[in-house]
Amino acid sequence: MRELLTRLEREGWYRGQVGRAVEVPPRPGVYAPPPAGLPQPARAWLEARGLRLFRHQAEAMEAILSGKDVILATGPSSGKTLAMALPVLAHLAEDPTATALLLYPLKALAQDQLRQWREIGACLGVEVVGIYDGDTPAHVRPKLRGRARILLTNPYALHQYLEWHHLWAPFLARLRYVVLDEAHWYQGAFGSGVALLLWRLQRILRRYGAQPLFVLASATCGDPAGLARALLGREAHPITADGSPQGPRTWWFWDPDRAPQDPPFAQVLRLCGFLLEQGLQTLVFVPSRRRAEALSAAVRAAAPHLGERIAAYRAGYLPEERRALEAGLRAGTLRLVVSTCALELGVDIGGLDAVVLVGYPGSLASARQQAGRAGRAGRPALLVYVPEEDPLDYYFLYHPEELVFGPVELPVLNPRHRGLLFRHLVCAAAELPLRPEELGPLGVAEEELAALLRDGPLARTPAGLVYAGRTRAVDQAPLEALSARQVRLLWRGQTLEVWDEVRARREAFPGAVLLHQGQPFRVRTLDLAQGYAELEECPEDYTTRAVIAETVRILRPEVQRDGLGFGTVEVREEVRAYKVLHRGRLVDVRPLQLPPVEFQTEGIWLVWPTPWEDPGALHGAEHALVALVPLLVGTSAKDVGGVSAPVHPDTGRPTILIYDGFPDGIGISRALLSRAEEWVRRTAEHLSRCPCKEGCPRCVLSARCGSGNRPMDKAGARDILERWLKHHGPLGSGGEAAVGGGAGPAAL
């Protein structure tokens, strides 16, 4: 790619924005023969197509055929679907009574994967009937339940159907495999809800005498074995050594500040035009639908002779439109596509020449999934990273090797979250009587059970606890909400999402702009009493951020070391205003009057032994620490909050306290505890690399700050973090559990 960079340097508009180029050498494929237990028809299928198995595919097949639960966590385009589908379908071909359930996090992904499963199934004599979800016509559903060998669905649909398991009795009684694709999506509140959903599924399957294997596929993640344990409540065999070949890859790290006269959008537009001129088939990932449409339209206008070969791709298009775009990418007739994260997941689009990442997608797993869309079968690939105005984005501009080679974040979920757990217990009681011995492994205390019986819709019967409510239990337990008080996001009377009240107060205030599948909506009204927010389409490319004032008290310390603490904290948050930003630039600040919210959660705090006379240093360090939390755990910076004080009332010393922004915690602070020294060190290094003098939105300034970023001392922030490392650093390197919530609904 050196020659390509030389040609770029000849462009009149180019100002040296490629600050760093990182080369990744090619990786040869590592192959292995099919496992001995793979049935002959499956071997013949491989031979007829001239397919050789990568080592990780053969290892996964062998583990599945030997009866092990498996989590396969390898890179994009590494053949994970084949590794799962071939042994599962081969077994179903040998046992005409066996069935399999395939779970995908999104409807669109299930549609995409249906084709591959059908292709392999047809060759082995197994009919893959179709998809069973909310879009399946009512008159088709009984036929699918009655004769399907393999069904594809999603967790949201399964959550709704479990109560009617008697209708599924023949299928469930013969279930031999449960496949969870894109398992790295099951994190945070959603992942915690899915873990409890899988516990409910397993107890129903025991009722019908079924003991299926669980097969998980994931992008590369920080602790695949821990993720599987948290989701399933039992161990799964991890397979992480990727044997697929990879051609040479070149990363360009693009610094927009080197051409300050050109807005970043204009620079990306010119970059896209250059890649088109060089004949590179290119995929550009952007944060929102509106950006996808705007950039693709601008590229078409700049290159009218290629108009039909340039397109946008996003959720919201009709399925046939998406299939046509995917086919165009595979065939090469489309030369440049601008997409939201909708093309990040396992949609087959072939191997492209270049991928441009506009903004950090939120996790290293996502960044590498997106980058993995370029270069297959040993072909070279170009990856261009263009940061947006955010501390995490610029962290990777200053530390490019970490984006390319660094360890992936720890997955975080907490199936033991009390509010979420109790709502799923109610769902379980609606599905089958809940026996007292089932509650012990979940850690439900006698007084908690008594409260459920006294205050909740459960009743005691000779068969066990049963649901006695007037509405369906699942209607009170959305998978992605942690709080019992929920807010529905309504657009034209349709529920787009369900949030817990704490998140709604922070992000769904009147005037807020939020994204749903990349589409921007503005909140017209918020009615907390009735539990809904009315949305309207947002025509401008604006974003909003709440200005939050926080007070945090330490209630019950669980870990106390010199310089470091962790435990239960009580949070009071007050949203006083919100900022309006246009493409990252502040354009307005508007006041708000919302009642404060109070809740208990988990927090981690850093303390210093001697008084610190500069509160601006603590304040800046707090902001920087919050911004870089996603470096270490699979979460967003908006999912945590923070406070700082020269003398905190509960420690009596200078303190920075970071907390989970969810009632009862979701495991973020707990995961940070095991990597506190690394967290502080990387934050201090980022402050030293940011070229600003007084502090900027790329290091210590936060649009969410309730005090308007005052006082603020960037140099002092770096100094105070380095002083903590000098005195306390090794104390933060303990060995806590990688997955924040512990071992899931264990032993269930």
How does DSSP assign 372-391, residue by residue?
Answer: TTB--TT--EEEEEE--SSH
Integer Cα distance of 384 and 526 in angstroms: 40
Ordered DSSP codes for 133-162: STTS-TTTHHHHHHH-SEEEE-HHHHHHHG
Strands 53-54 and 31-32: antiparallel
Query: In Å, what is the CA distance from 218 to each residue of 75, 608, 747?
Result: 8, 40, 23
Residues β-bridged to residue 385: 253, 357
Q: How far is CA 713 from CA 460, 623, 644, 701, in A?
A: 60, 11, 13, 10
Which stretches within 381-500 are classed as H helix?
391-398, 400-405, 418-431, 446-455
Give the tokens for residue 646.
């020269």
Cα three-residue angle 429-435-436, rounded to 5 degrees: 120
Tokens (6 digits) for 354? 């270049």
CATH of domain 55-239: 3.40.50.300
What is the chain's length?
Answer: 748
**Other residues' Cβ atoms within 10 Å of the Cβ of residue 49:** 8
Between CA 290 and CA 544 the distance in angstroms is: 15
The span from the CA of 356 to the CA of 697, in Å, is 23
For the chain, what is the total number of helices (H) and then of strands (E)? 23, 29
Compute mean pLDDT per 10 residues along the chain, 748 residues long, and list them.
95 97 95 96 95 98 98 92 97 96 88 88 90 90 91 96 95 97 91 96 97 95 94 97 95 97 96 97 92 93 93 80 88 95 76 94 92 85 95 95 93 90 94 91 84 83 93 88 82 89 91 83 95 91 88 97 95 93 83 91 95 90 96 90 95 96 92 95 96 93 88 96 86 40 38
Is residue 403 within 8 Å of 396, Cβ to Cβ?
yes
Task: Give bridge partners of residue 554 from the DSSP assignment.
Answer: 569
Question: What's 35's DSSP letter?
Answer: P
Q: Could you tell me which of 424, 444, 435 has the C-alpha nearest to residue 466?
A: 435
Instruction: Produce one character per residue of 26-47: b if its CB has 16 or more CB atoms within 10 Å, e if not.
Output: ebeeeebebbeebbeebeebee
CATH number for region 2-16+245-405 = 3.40.50.300
Q: Is the pTM of this model over 0.85?
A: yes
The H or E element spanning position 719 is helix 714-728
Whole-number Å distance between alpha carbons of 476 and 427? 9
Q: Measure the CA–CA gap between 573 and 557, rounded to whole angstroms.
A: 21
- For residues 198 and 713, the answer to whether their CB atoms sit within 8 Å is no
Q: What share of the chain is helix, strand, coil (3-state, %, to 5)?
A: 40, 25, 35
pLDDT value of position 255: 97
Backbone Cα Rg of the chain = 26
How are beta strands 640-645 and 464-467 bridged, if at all? Answer: unpaired
**SS3 call for 579:** strand
Burial group, residue 696, by CB count within 10 angstroms (0-12, 13-18, 19+) = middle
Top-tier CATH class for 547-577+593-732: alpha beta
Q: Which two tokens stand for residue 433?
A: 């009587």
Peptide bond into 711 cis (omega under 30): yes
- Sequence-separated (6 or more) residues with CB below 8 Å from residue 277: none
Q: Give a three-class secondary structure readout of 502-563.
A: HHHHHHCCCCCEEEECCEEEEEEEEECCCCEEEEEECCCCEEEEEEEEEEEEEEEEEEEECC
| Rounded-to-integer distance, Cα 651 and Cα 740, Å | 25
Closest CA to 21 of 42, 47, 2: 2
Cross-strand partners of 599: 571
CA 541 from centre of chain: 24
Q: Give the type of residue at 435.
A: R
Residues 6+ apart with CB under 8 A from 510: 523, 524, 525, 526, 592
Asked if residue 326 lies in contact with residue 252, where contact means CB atoms within 8 angstroms, the answer is no
517 in Cβ contact with 316 (< 8 Å): yes
Strand residues in 639-685 grouped as ranges (E): 640-645, 655-660
Instruction: Report the C-alpha gap between 58 and 537 in whole angstroms.
Output: 49
